[in-house]
Homo-oligomer: A and B are copies of this chain.
Amino acid sequence: MGGEDTKSLGEVEERRVTFTERELELDSGVTLNPVTIPYETYGRLSPERDNAILVCHALSGSARAGGSDGWWSDCIGPGKAFDTDRFFVICANVPGSCYGSSGPSSIDPATGAPYGLRFPVVTIGDMVAAQERLISHLGIDTLLCVAGGSMGGMQVLEWASRRPDRLRAAIPLATTARSSPMLIAFSEVGRQAIYADPNWLGGDYYANGRRPDAGLALARMIGHITYLSDRSMHAKFGRRLQDRARFGYEFDTEFQVESYLKYKGLSFTQRFDANSYLYVTKALDYFDLSTPGGLPAAFARSEHVRFLVVSFTSDWLYPSYHSKELVSALTAVGADVTYLDIESSWGHDAFLLEVDTMTRLLGSFVDRVAEEARL
């Protein structure tokens, strides 16, 4: 089912589609009914249907990965790492999010009102299950590659663990196979900021005309600190003051770093839903491929998958040792792993900011995978 909007932009064929599946059984045991999955594609699926690359977005992303304003437009396009002249790139919005997918702001068909917190909790596994339905719907048996960073990287690992038979290669970037207590802690303080907003109303604010923007902005400010690094904050802001020459000895915004965070928090409220923030952070917290049989057991059937694992030296939210543990597990099951711990000062954000390095790295890896697939 679903509407379709196709346009040709220069040489790239872009499609924006909404796919609706009758139902999806979630990890929680609840059945979501129906589930709407907006997705975009860039390039053309080959007649053999063997040139598809699925890219998975992070916490606040949407299906809009490519095109002029996509979140990964540096890597998706003609001649880019995910070369749309050769590959068919797909990105779907995850369930629980607010960019067209089924989530807490969607209408619950049982009541005719927005779900709010009555929307079921979703996991990274549920996101991948939704993507798998979509891939089947598109008539694709095997993906050439699945790629993503941060929460997107978790989906990549879930794919490699859950349905390794349906992919040739996996690119998990700046991520982990097991959320750390520090990650959970930062998730929880962000959620508490939303709960504490008097406009949140237990999640039932949609009809109210007032949204919990203050709480969501604060959650995003906290998040932004964790995406940067001590060094990148020194470089970006230092101790410079904003629009003033000296201390005001007052509680106004005085330092540039304060001004930046407030701006980022405020602008986030114009594009994201507070309840969705609760759902996606909860999915992060639950993610743990290592149970019950250790981490190698999660990849017992993945030995044929080629992996490109990338971490960044200044990423303290997803420290490099997480990727090293992952590489160790993948190697233990005999998978072919390329691993790079990239020297970068940009912290967790590096996977989107280290453009030249990432373009070269992803491009040559995908080229090799395509060559082996005889594309």
Contact = CB atoms under 8 A, between A and B. Distances in A.
Interface in A278-337: 278, 282, 285-286, 288, 316, 319
Contacts of A285: 254-255
Contacts of A30: 249
A230 B282 contact: no
Interface stretch (A149-157, A164-172, A182-190): A182-190
Contact of A189 (B29, B218, B228, B254): B218
B198 A239 contact: no
Q: By CB atoms of chain B within 10 A, which of A117, A247, A254 has the most?
A: A247
Nearest to A316: B316
Given A180-B233, A225-B182, A230-B180, A249 B120 contact: yes
Interface string A200-218: 0000000000000011001
A269 interface: no
A138 to B, nearest CB: 29
A16 interface: no
A192 interface: yes
A2 interface: no
Nearest to A260: B185
A188 B316 CA distance: 20
A260 to B, nearest CB: 9
A121 interface: yes
Contact of A257 (B29, B184, B215, B286): B184
Given A185-B233, A250-B121, A316-B316, A192 B179 contact: no
Interface string A224-236: 0100101001101
Given A230-B316, A247-B286, A257 B181 contact: yes
A250 B285 CA distance: 12
A164 to B, nearest CB: 24
A44 to B, nearest CB: 40
Q: Which 6 A-B pairs have the closest CB atoms?
A: A28-B249, A181-B233, A121-B249, A181-B257, A188-B258, A196-B214
Given A179-B239, A184-B258, 15 more contacts: A117-B251, A181-B233, A181-B234, A181-B237, A181-B255, A182-B228, A182-B230, A185-B258, A185-B261, A189-B221, A189-B261, A191-B251, A193-B193, A193-B196, A239-B288
21 contacts: A120-B249, A121-B249, A121-B250, A179-B239, A180-B230, A180-B234, A181-B233, A181-B257, A182-B228, A182-B233, A184-B257, A185-B233, A186-B225, A188-B253, A192-B218, A192-B221, A196-B197, A196-B214, A196-B218, A247-B286, A254-B285
